[in-house]
Amino acid sequence: MPPASPVDPGPSTPDESDWTWVLTRPCPDCGFDPDDFRADGVPAILRDAAGRFVAMLARTDAATRPATGVWSPLEYACHVGDVCDVMRGRLELIVAGEGQLVRFADWDQDNAATAYWRAEPAQVRDRIATAFESAAQAYAVPTGDQWSWPAERSNGSPFTAATLATYFVHDIHHHLWDVSA
């Protein structure tokens, strides 16, 4: 196992865009199309993605940033682990709300990312396997009308369980594209 980079590579370029447009039209980068998406397929998609990210961590360049300000595959893996935890927590909030509008805070993903560069690949591998599986089990819970139960992000963006699932799965799909996994 190669040692982690001894030098803090600095922050990545902040992602301040609002990605909610992916709920209504295909992503020109990764090719995700919300029209092809089915919420009941989320657990299988997550388990497949987990295997790809775990395999990616075995690459010899996993800890190398491909360009200044661009995350290494290892940093992307840390990020998707956090994405799984955040998106699982949001869905669990919606389910616990039993159809009442629930609110969740926006997530400062750039602040969360400052220590990703020094993560240990073996620990990240175990962590993302657990995070993906926990999320897969959570997204296997809603059925029928429960997918339309509502939520609102603190910046005012409206979601349902189904659109949260769409947003989540696009994020994972997009990051697989980012790391060519």
Which residue ranges make up the site for Zn ion (CB under 5 A)?
A: 27, 29-30, 32, 174
Q: In the structure encoding, which two tokens stand for residue 31, read together?
A: 């090719």
Give the nearer residue to Zn ion in terms of CB position, either 27 or 129.
27
| Minimum CB–partner distance for residue 30 and Zn ion (Å) | 3
| Minimum CB–partner distance for residue 27 and Zn ion (Å) | 3
Range list of H helices, the chain: 42-56, 73-97, 109-112, 121-139, 161-178
Tell me the residue nearest to Zn ion as measured from the CB: 27
Give the nearer residue to Zn ion in terms of CB position, either 27 or 54.
27
| Minimum CB–partner distance for residue 77 and Zn ion (Å) | 17
Strands 150-153 and 158-160: what pairing?
antiparallel
- For the chain, the first-to-last Cα distance in angstroms comes to 20
Q: In the structure encoding, which two tokens stand for residue 77, read together?
A: 């893996």
Give the nearer residue to Zn ion in terms of CB position, either 53 or 117.
53
| Minimum CB–partner distance for residue 23 and Zn ion (Å) | 12
AA letter at 55: A
Q: How far apart are CA 52 and CA 173, in angstroms?
A: 11
Q: Give 20: exposed, middle or buried? Use CB within 10 Å, 0-12, 13-18, 19+.
A: middle
Give the nearer residue to Zn ion in terms of CB position, either 77 or 102.
77
Beta-carbon contacts of 15 under 8 Å, excluding residues fewer than 6 positions away, are 109, 110
Give the nearer residue to Zn ion in terms of CB position, either 76 or 149.
76
Q: In the structure encoding, which two tokens stand for residue 168, read together?
A: 């989540």
| Minimum CB–partner distance for residue 175 and Zn ion (Å) | 9
Give the nearer residue to Zn ion in terms of CB position, either 28 or 156.
28
| Minimum CB–partner distance for residue 71 and Zn ion (Å) | 15
